[in-house]
Amino acid sequence: MLRVDKVRKAFQGFQAVADANLTVPSGMVTAVIGPNGAGKSTLFNLITGHLQSDSGQILFQEENIAGLPPHAITRKGIGRSFQLINIFQRLTVFENIKAALIAREGKTMNFFLPARRLFNDEVWDILGEFGLADFAERSASLMSYGDQKVLEIAIALATKPKLLLLDEPTAGMSPEETRKIVQLIKRLSCDQGLTILLTEHDMELVFDVAQRIMVLHQGRTIAEGLPEDVRRDAGVRSAYLGEAI
Ligand code: ADP
Ligand code: MG
């Protein structure tokens, strides 16, 4: 579904992504792992058009999307959640989902037009599907961090992406919140066949959910393949300085 080929990105001379290669097969969960500062978020921002690569190719369903703006890439079918929560804190949970649906239709946001009521059934469906119905009228800022992340993923899915990118979806979460996210990832992948690309620092989680792993180290891809092969890779082991992975 996605292929990243020799992609590079420098910030004022600092090579954040030096040589990244990645294959994301359709219908699988693929994880990009690597120490803090390895370039994972930068790579995601390159894929979604939030940053422009200096060179290399990013092929989404055989089409080079490098250089396209974020909204064009969203329209082609790539949805994402950010490493930090990216929702409208002052809107209710209901309004957040509704805003996403309106944005999907490419219309400007106006909650007061009667036509906007058309979305209400779909909003309730989504709230039900993600277990958020009880929070519908609540301000998003009052939800737990874990529930805000679920909302963020629900918003990303409102655009009906073919590929969902999740940047450290469980960062800063309690074990219970983490379990919720893991179940959600598995449900989206197994039941709905969604293709997912994620970054994650929790290795236990990575080996639990990912069918394929790419290891980024100082901006370079140093290993890519099946989880068990990556785990045994000598280069990966030395990059993690003997940490258990
Ligand atoms: P990761 O997500 O793997 O922790 P990042 O992609 O966030 O890593 O960052 C990779 C490197 O690039 C880090 O050294 C970071 O400080 C640097 N970096 C990221 N974004 C910028 C930016 N906008 N300007 C300058 N340096 C940046
Ligand atoms: Mg990051």
pLDDT per residue over 23-79, tens digit each?
Answer: 999 999 999 999 999 999 999 999 999 999 999 999 999 999 999 999 999 999 999
Position 115 pLDDT exceeds 90:
no
78's CB contacts (< 8 A; 6+ apart) are: 2, 47, 48, 60, 65, 161, 162, 163, 164, 165
Q: What is the pLDDT of residues 133-152, one digit of tens each?
A: 999 999 999 999 999 999 99
pLDDT score, position 109: 53
β 55-60/2-11 pair status: antiparallel
**159-182 average pLDDT score:** 93
pLDDT score, position 140: 95
Of 80-84, 102-106, 162-166, 212-216, least confident by mean pLDDT is 102-106
**202-229 average pLDDT score:** 95
Give percent above pLDDT 70 in the chain: 93
C-alpha of residue 171 to centroid of ligand 2, in Å: 10
Which ligand 1 atom sits closest to the C-alpha of 17? 10
C-alpha of residue 55 to centroid of ligand 1, in Å: 17
Residue nearest to atom 22 of ligand 1 (CA): 11
Q: Is there an atom of ligand 1 within 6 Å of 13 CB?
A: no
Give the Cα separation of 77 and 136 in Å (integer).
Answer: 27
Give the Cα separation of 135 and 140 in Å (integer).
Answer: 8
C-alpha of residue 187 to centroid of ligand 2, in Å: 24
pLDDT score, position 242: 57
Q: Is there an atom of ligand 1 within 6 Å of 38 CB?
A: yes
Q: Where in the chain is the domain with CATH 3.40.50.300?
A: 1-77+162-245
Q: Which ligand is nearest to the CA of 83?
A: 2
Which ligand 1 atom sits closest to the C-alpha of 38? 3
**107-128 average pLDDT score:** 74
Position 244 pLDDT exceeds 60:
no
Reported pTM? 0.91
Given a contact cutoff of 8 angstroms between Cβ atoms, the answer to whether 190 and 171 are in contact is: no
- The amino acid at residue 218 is Q
Domain 1-77+162-245 fold: Rossmann fold (3.40.50)
Q: Is there an atom of ligand 1 within 6 Å of 108 CB?
A: no
Give percent above pLDDT 90 in the chain: 79
DSSP track, 138-168 = SBGGGS-HHHHHHHHHHHHHHT--SEEEEES
How far is CA 15 from its chain centroid? 23
